[in-house]
Structure formats: C-alpha cells, structure tokens
C-alpha cells in the first residue's frame, strides 16, 4: 500500500487543482467541473489549513476571502510609469493619430491591436518567483496605492502563475471592474439594508478596491481583464521567457497561457479601416456586454516600433483611446446657481431634474461661464440636452427651444458675490467674473481644499475643512500648522485616533518641495506645470518671493500674464503674512530637483529639441540637457543657446534660422553631452 500523503502534500495537491480550475474558468472560460465540485475542493483545503495553520501561504486560494483591516494604504512606486492615453473622438482624429505615427516612423507597414476600453480602475500586479507580490492602483502614474490585500480577493487574479517559462520578476496591468449584473445585485442588497446606492459600476469598483477592510472587498463582485505586460524586470534573461515576445499580441497570448484573464473581444487589425469597423461594431453592441465600456484602445502592435515612437508628456505616441460618442439625455434645467472658486471666480452651474445619462444619475452640470450660457441661450425652466463629455463630465449641450412655454427665465450674472455680498468685478477681455474679497468665506473654503489636496494632507476632507473654518481654527492655510489635538477633539465626529492621524499628516506636509507648495498656494494662473518651472528656477521660497516680474518673464514657459500674476501675489501684504506664518511653522520649502552631476556642458544654457532623433527620444535628450546643468526649453527664442534638430523638424527650425539660433545635429549634441556616439 502506498504511504498516506502528508498534510503538506495534500494541501499542495489541492492548491494545484484549484488553481488549475481557476485558470480553466477565468482565463479560458472553459470549466471542467461544476461549481459544487469546485466548492468541495475549496472546503477541503480550508479544513486542512485550519488544522495546520503553519502551512497557510499568502498565495493559497483560501486567502481570497480577505485579511484583517489595514490602517491605511502604503505607496507603491511604478518602476515603469503607468501612462495615460490621448483621446480620439472621431475617425478623423484617429486617422490623424496614425498618420503622426507613420510620419515619425517613416513607415506605414504595421498592424494594430484593438481592445475594448473597460470602465473600471487600472491596476499594476507585480509577480516574483511566480507569486503575486504587490497590487497597486495607477495613482498619479508614478506612484499608486498598495491594494495587494484587496487584489487577492479577486478570483480572476492568479495568486500564483503556472507555466514552463515564467520571468522571475514581472508586472502585468489590467482593469478591475464590476459587472452590470453584479452591480445591480449589490445595489438591491444595499437598498434592502437601507444603505445608500452606488451611482455606477466604475465608482462601485473603485470604492470596493479601496476598502481598508479586505473582507468587505471580498464580498464585492469584482473582476479583471489584463491588458498589457507592464515590465519584465529580468528582460535580459532570455531563458525566463524562452525568447522575449516581439509584440503586444504575442505578449498577451503568453500572459493568457500563464493564467491571466484577457478580454475575448480583443482583435488584431491590419488597416485603419479595420479599426473603424471594430469601433462601429462595439458602438452598436456595447449595451449587450455585462460590463461598462467607453471606447476602444488602439495600440501599435510591434514593441520595437513602440520604443521608437516613445511618449509625449505622459501619453504614449503608440496608443490612443478612441472614445464612443457621448451619451445624451433630455431633462429640465431647474435653475442656474453660482459656486465661488478658490481664486474668487463666479462659476455658474446647472441644477437639473435628475436624469440617467449613460448609467449615471446626473443632477448638476457645468456651464463654464456667463458667455457660454448666453451663447447657448440657456434659461431656467428650459428642457435641455445633457451629455457626459468624454463619458465623464456632465455638461448642458443646448436647450430644446421647441418645448419653451414663455415662463423660462434668462440668466444674468449677479452684481455681488452670493456668499459675502461684495460687488463683483469683470476685467475687460476676460470671460470670468470675480469676487475681489480675499476674505470671502467661500473662496477660502475652496482654497483650503486645494491646499490640503496638493500638500497631500490626508484626513482633511470637505467636512473637516468646513468644521475647521466654522470653529474659527483656520482662517488661512498657515493656521493648519497651529491646530492642537484638543481643538480637533472638540469637533463633531473626531476621535482621538483620527485627530492624531490628521496632525501627523499636517506635520509631514512641512517637508513638501518648493514646486508643490507653490502650486498649493493657489496663485492665479499657476497650475502644476508652471509651479514646476518656478520650483526648478528658484532654490527657496524667499528667492521666489523677491523675484521681479521681469525676472519671472525670462523663465522659458512663463509668459507675461503668468509673470504679472505671480509678482502681484507676492506684493500682496496679506499673502506675505501667510507665507511668514508658514515659514515660522516650519514650512520653508526649497528646490529638491536633483542637482546636475558630471560635466556641466550646458550650464546656464536653454536648449530646445525638435524633430525625431534616431538613437534617443526627445525626453531623453531633454534629460541630458538638465543633467548638464541646462534648461530644456519648449519654444525657440533669442535666449535659446542651441536647437537640437532631428528628422521632420518643423516651425521651431524655421524660427531658429530666423533668429540666428545655432543648430546642432543629434551627433553633435551627444558629443557635447559626453555620450558615446
């Protein structure tokens, strides 16, 4: 008689069998056993692990039920950034995207991969030695939230991959989503329990994946489609893959073989006409799917071509999201109200009779400004057409004039601020009307929300921001750093642990770099990119405060309007007082951009790169400029020291020739940078 298997052997056998049947069910959509038989195997494994807790491993199928709650999500840095996609909203824009790629490549002989754009939450799954190591959200593309415990609860995510050729360390990327049937079932259950209902599948999926208690996530009907190989960290070890996949389609088939779930509707398309046919098919049939989609994603298939095309900003040139037409509905515009923004702008918005637009209940919509309202001739009481622009932001398209009764009321911008009753102002040539009162409570509430958001001060949401203002604890952003624990505890629904977390987050924010603090201040016309330019130019906040308007205008990328706005901000006594309070509280930001190392070949120079380079991307060339002590400019001017010229150079080359700016070939530029040619 053969010896009886040990508990460890029986557990290993059950895990292998369950993982195999998960693969058949989720990856191949071809189950070999009934649900009851699957449940019996899982129950046997649960009983064995309960009897031998020392044999439990994180990649066991039993661990999908979720572990104990975590205090907060940690951060995961993406080794390769998770880029966002540019959009095409019609066939002309799609064709223009492909033509740009053809021009850059000098070649139109390539095929494309077409995939449905799933309405969910992008995640990155990292595997090491075949076991799921980390699951993270996209976040800002560079860093995401560590949601590993929650990812493990999704049954279609392999906890361990199986195959003969598996890279030792690799990442896959996919979209976590909630099916329409699962969403409806969950909302019915919540309604029966008297709980609030989720608005749509995307928000429900995102909320489920960001639960601090993974046991709650395990109860939510989440699923995943994997859409790309993120990175094989050991790409040079050919033995891991046998041979590295040469294109996206091949990589996806390899991932399917390892047990990952791919969307069965994925297609290879040879021509742009084939892409359009695929798009039109799913424009018509998308409602037949049991999950939300808002377009298709088109990718140039060949990895070598993808590398040649590179990225622009945070968007790959080799992929585009071709969006379905926005979903529209007709409803009643009940009234037009005003929201006061953080810069004092009076922002009108429409209050609507609730209406379902593409699966989302819309009650409000943007109206942009007074001129937009007048141009569209929108009136309170109108029946209006509403759409979700890009499937996200609700906006009023136009009135249904034929349904007017004569009782509708035209809109007029109020003469005074609706919050503080200060007379409003509107500068000549500007579209927006402003409340000039810097102490307007509505402005400060928006300013405070902006400040804590940009400064990454966790724990201060809208409700707490309102409470801090109402209690008189915070009259400007600097007051945050004087708030005491006992003061927080006096606020409604504030416990000791929450108060400690808020104070810890406030303390941590003192270390933010200059560009982050500059953006957080809410200076008019200063967004994140402008703040980055200022943060690179000035070493400390004191230096930025003392900069003249003329000095600011010399910074490449900052025009006279922005320079005037920044200079005016730092002339205002009230703003200077806040900055002094911030500094006294320990918020004294400085530049943290890595100082150039090595030979300073470009010290003090502004260098612009144009056209397509042969051996490096434009972004890599600009990194070399910065490493050499120079500034990578975006436009040619008299201050430009050199223009680096690649293939298909356009207007920048013509302007450089007109201004007498010296041009460098790629070879000459690399020689100056000290790079081997």
Instruction: Please give the positions annotated as active site.
Output: 117
Rounded Cα distance between 434 and 418, Å, is: 11
Q: Phi and psi dihedrals of 550, rounded to 5?
A: -65, -40
DSSP assignment letter at 24? I
Name every residue whose Cβ is closer than 8 Å to that of residue 240 and which is 6 or more positions away in sequence.
Answer: 165, 166, 167, 168, 232, 234
Asked whether the beta carbons of 66 and 153 are under 8 A apart, the reply is yes
Rounded Cα distance between 617 and 612, Å, is: 7
Largest CA distance in the chain: 97
Mode of pairing for the β-strands spanning 640-645 and 606-610: parallel
Centre a 10 Å sphere on the Cβ of residue 94 and count the other Cβ atoms it contains. Answer: 21
Nearest by Cα to 342 from 459, 481, 440: 440
Rounded Cα distance between 562 and 523, Å, is: 9
Asked whether the beta carbons of 323 and 390 are under 8 A apart, the reply is yes
Asked whether the beta carbons of 370 and 433 are under 8 A apart, the reply is yes
* C-alpha dist (Å) from residue 291 to 105, 296, 648: 36, 14, 43
Rounded Cα distance between 633 and 639, Å, is: 10
Distance of CA 19 to the CA centre of its chain: 33
Please tell me the number of Cα atoms within 13 Å of 76 on its side-chain side: 23
Dihedral sign from CA coordinates of 165, 114, 82, 457: negative
Q: Which helix (H) or strand (E) holds 123?
A: strand 121-128
State the distance between the two ends of the chain, measured CA to CA, in whole angstroms: 71
DSSP assignment letter at 434? B
Centre a 10 Å sphere on the Cβ of residue 426 and count the other Cβ atoms it contains. Answer: 13
Rounded Cα distance between 348 and 365, Å, is: 9
Per-residue b or e along 488-503, where b marks 16 or more CB atoms closer than 10 Å to that residue's CB: beebeebeeeebeebb
Rounded Cα distance between 129 and 160, Å, is: 9
Rounded Cα distance between 170 and 124, Å, is: 10
Rounded Cα distance between 141 and 203, Å, is: 19
Asked whether the beta carbons of 261 and 26 are under 8 A apart, the reply is yes
Rounded Cα distance between 263 and 258, Å, is: 15
Q: Which helix (H) or strand (E) holds 21?
A: helix 7-22
Name every residue whose Cβ is closer than 8 Å to that of residue 605 and which is 6 or more positions away in sequence.
Answer: 625, 629, 630, 631, 641, 642
Centre a 10 Å sphere on the Cβ of residue 536 and count the other Cβ atoms it contains. Answer: 17
């Amino acid at each position: 008689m053969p010896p009886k298997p040990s508990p460890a052997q029986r557990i290993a056998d059950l895990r292998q069998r369950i993982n195999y049947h998960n693969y058949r069910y989720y990856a191949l959509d071809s189950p070999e056993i009934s649900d009851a038989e699957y449940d019996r195997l899982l129950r046997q494994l649960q009983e064995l692990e309960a009897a031998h807790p020392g044999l439990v491993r994180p990649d066991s199928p039993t661990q999908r039920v979720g572990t104990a709650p975590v205090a907060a999500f940690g951060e995961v840095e993406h080794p390769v950034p998770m880029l966002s996609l540019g959009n095409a909203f019609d066939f002309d824009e799609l064709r223009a995207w492909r033509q740009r790629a053809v021009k850059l490549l000098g070649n139109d002989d390539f095929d494309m991969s077409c995939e449905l754009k799933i309405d969910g939450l992008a995640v990155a799954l990292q595997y090491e030695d075949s076991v799921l190591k980390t699951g993270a959200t996209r976040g800002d593309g560079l860093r995401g939230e560590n949601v590993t415990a929650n990812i493990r609860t999704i049954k279609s995510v392999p906890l361990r991959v199986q195959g003969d050729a598996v890279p030792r360390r690799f990442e896959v990327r996919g979209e976590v989503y909630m099916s329409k049937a699962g969403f409806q079932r969950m909302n019915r259950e919540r309604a029966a329990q008297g709980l609030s209902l989720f608005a749509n599948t995307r928000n429900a999926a995102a909320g489920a994946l960001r639960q601090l208690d993974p046991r709650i996530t395990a109860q939510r009907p989440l699923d995943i489609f994997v859409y790309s190989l993120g990175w094989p960290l050991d790409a040079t070890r050919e033995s891991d893959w046998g041979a590295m996949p040469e294109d996206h389609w091949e990589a996806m088939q390899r991932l399917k073989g390892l047990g990952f779930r791919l969307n069965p509707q994925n297609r290879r398309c040879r021509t742009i006409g084939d892409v359009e046919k695929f798009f039109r098919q799913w424009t018509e049939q998308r409602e037949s799917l049991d999950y939300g989609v808002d377009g298709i994603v088109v990718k140039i298939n060949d990895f070598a071509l993808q590398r040649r095309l590179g990225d622009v900003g945070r968007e790959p040139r080799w992929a585009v999201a071709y969006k379905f037409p926005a979903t529209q509905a007709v409803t009643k515009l009940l009234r037009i109200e005003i929201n006061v923004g953080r810069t004092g702008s009076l922002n009108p918005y429409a209050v609507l009779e609730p209406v379902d637009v593409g699966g989302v209940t819309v009650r409000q919509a943007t109206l942009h400004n007074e001129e937009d309202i007048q141009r569209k001739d929108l009136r309170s009481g109108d029946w209006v057409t509403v759409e979700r622009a890009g499937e996200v932001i609700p906006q009023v398209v136009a009135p249904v004039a034929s349904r007017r009764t004569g009782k509708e009321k035209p809109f007029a911008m109020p003469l005074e601020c609706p919050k503080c009753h200060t007379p409003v102002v509107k500068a000549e040539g500007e579209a927006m009307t402003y409340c000039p009162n810097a102490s307007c409570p509505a402005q400060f509430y928006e300013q405070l929300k902006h400040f804590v958001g940009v400064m990454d001060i966790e724990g201060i949401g809208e409700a707490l921001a309102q409470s801090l203002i109402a209690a008189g604890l915070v009259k400007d952003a600097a007051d945050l750093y004087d708030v005491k624990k006992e003061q927080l505890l006096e606020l409604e629904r504030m416990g000791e642990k929450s108060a400690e977390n808020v104070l810890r987050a406030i303390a941590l924010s003192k270390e933010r770099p200059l560009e982050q603090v500059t953006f957080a201040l809410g200076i008019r016309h200063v967004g994140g990119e402008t703040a980055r330019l200022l943060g690179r130019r000035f070493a400390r906040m004191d230096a930025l405060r003392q900069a003249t308007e003329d000095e600011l205008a010399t910074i490449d990328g900052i025009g006279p309007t922005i320079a005037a706005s920044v200079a005016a901000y730092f002339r205002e006594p009230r703003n200077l007082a806040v900055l002094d309070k911030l500094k006294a509280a320990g918020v004294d930001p400085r530049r943290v951009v890595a100082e150039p190392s090595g030979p300073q070949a470009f010290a003090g120079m502004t260098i612009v790169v144009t056209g397509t380079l042969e051996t490096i991307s434009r972004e890599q060339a600009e990194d070399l400029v910065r490493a050499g002590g120079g500034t990578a400019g975006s436009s040619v001017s008299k201050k430009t020291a050199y223009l680096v010229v690649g293939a298909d150079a356009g207007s920048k080359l013509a302007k450089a020739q007109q201004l007498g700016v010296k041009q460098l070939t790629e070879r000459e530029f690399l020689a100056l940078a000290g790079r081997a040619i």
